[in-house]
Amino acid sequence: MEANCSSSSSATQKASSIRWGILRRALLRRPSPSTDEQSEMSIRRISRKTNHGFNLIPYHLVESHNEENSDSFSKANHLGSSSRDIRICYTLPIDSAPKIFLNQRVDDRADLHDFEICNRFNIDNTGLVCHWPSEDVLAYYCMVHTENFRFLAQYHISIRCLTTQPLFLRSKKVIELGSGYGLAGLVMAVVTEALEVVISDGNPQVVDYIQCNIKANSTTFGGTRVKSMMLHWNQEEISDISNTFDVIVASDCTFFKEFHKGLVQTVNFLLKNEGPSEAIFFSPKRGDSLDEFLLEVKESGLHFGITEIYDPEVWRRHQAFVNSDDSWPNYEKDHCYPLLIRITR
């Protein structure tokens, strides 16, 4: 998950000692001894996130004159204090589409409680860190590559430019796995005529944010039912929703090798048996982790296809980053460019 793709062992050792330093200070509740600038630079070096990403859906921090609302919003939803949470407004590039609001953590505000939850639920805290670049791509893909919009105005890419088959979501049941803050699920709920969108994650703190974000946008879903769900991929008991989903989506969820089997089993459980159904994953290769996941998919009897160039705009931006567009330092295809994987029965 490293956004910083330096691989020399001395750099890695340095990064791990920075991490230990941060953890030590958190445990002892001591402020950072370094200057703000030094500390910021250190955190950037070890950060598992990028500040920029593909930036396909423009967003901005909710203005300070709205901060009061933002605070009461957090409190009403039992989320952290206003100093820990921020509210982001996403503007979909579709005429007359409503804005989407996401409550999420301020960068780098992990605390001890987060780690306790991770240990207790056998999960990591990557869903709280940020929304990752693949989620932006998934959200954009669902917006541009669905067969219909609830909003008549067309996005600037016409359907003729599409490089893959469009996703059919009208009257369909859709679930997002490992959704983090749930941007893609919310975008689908807003722009498509899906019957139901379930936004799930295995980290209970993340699920609280999803629930709060669903509530914050509930007037924008038209006839689509939208629910949050705590769904861990090692869960044995998901019989009540087995074989019920037409479409499963997930972004950046294939790098946890220990959960490959569980994730494939979950897809197998959830995908509808009858009629067309498919899972759409966006994942960077990340060394051999994607290949190993796909091996697991194959062994389970499911089928898959990989597409590298699935959207002209995403590909154009990828090429700009590769050609040293400065807006995404350390961009490296293997770790940063999400491939499209379509999984079917």
Ligand X SMILES: C[S@@+](CC[C@H](N)C(=O)[O-])C[C@H]1O[C@@H](n2cnc3c(N)ncnc32)[C@H](O)[C@@H]1O
HSE of 118, CA atoms in CB hemisphere, 13 A: 11
Nearest position to ligand X, beta carbon: 127
Q: In angstroms, what is the minimal distance from the CB of 31 to ligand X?
A: 28
What are 312's two structure tokens?
């002209």
Alpha carbons 255 and 275: distance in angstroms, whole number? 30
Nearer to ligand X, 135 or 311 (CB): 135
Nearer to ligand X, 62 or 229 (CB): 229
Length of the chain: 345
Nearer to ligand X, 74 or 104 (CB): 104
Positive or negative: CA dihedral 305, 336, 232, 15: positive
Distant-in-sequence, close-in-space partners of 287: CB < 8 Å, separation ≥ 6: 334
Nearer to ligand X, 39 or 255 (CB): 255
Of 177, 200, 176, 181, the residue nearest 79 (C-alpha): 181
Q: In angstroms, what is the minimal distance from the CB of 29 to ligand X?
A: 25
- Enter the DSSP assignment of 224: -
What are 223's two structure tokens?
């006839």
Nearer to ligand X, 144 or 249 (CB): 249
Q: In angstroms, what is the minimal distance from the CB of 126 to ligand X?
A: 4
Nearer to ligand X, 74 or 251 (CB): 251
Nearer to ligand X, 131 or 318 (CB): 131
Alpha carbons 168 and 194: distance in angstroms, whole number? 9
Alpha carbons 241 and 223: distance in angstroms, whole number? 21
HSE of 217, CA atoms in CB hemisphere, 13 A: 35
Q: In angstroms, what is the minimal distance from the CB of 20 to ligand X?
A: 22
Q: In angstroms, what is the minimal distance from the CB of 99 to ligand X?
A: 19
Nearer to ligand X, 132 or 331 (CB): 132
Q: In angstroms, what is the minimal distance from the CB of 181 to ligand X?
A: 7
Of 87, 85, 89, 101, the residue nearest 58 (C-alpha): 89
Angle between helices 204-216 and 112-121 (to 10 degrees): 110
Strands (E), 10-117: 59-61, 85-90, 100-105
Q: In angstroms, what is the minimal distance from the CB of 158 to ligand X?
A: 27
Residue 219 contacts residue 146 (beta carbons within 8 Å): no
Alpha carbon separation from 300 to 267, 295, 335, 336 (Å, rounded)? 10, 9, 26, 27
Q: Which residues of this chain interact with ligand X, rule CB under 6 A? A: 123-124, 126-127, 131-132, 134-135, 178-180, 201-203, 206, 232-234, 251-253, 256, 259
CA 241 to chain centre: 22
Nearer to ligand X, 94 or 202 (CB): 202
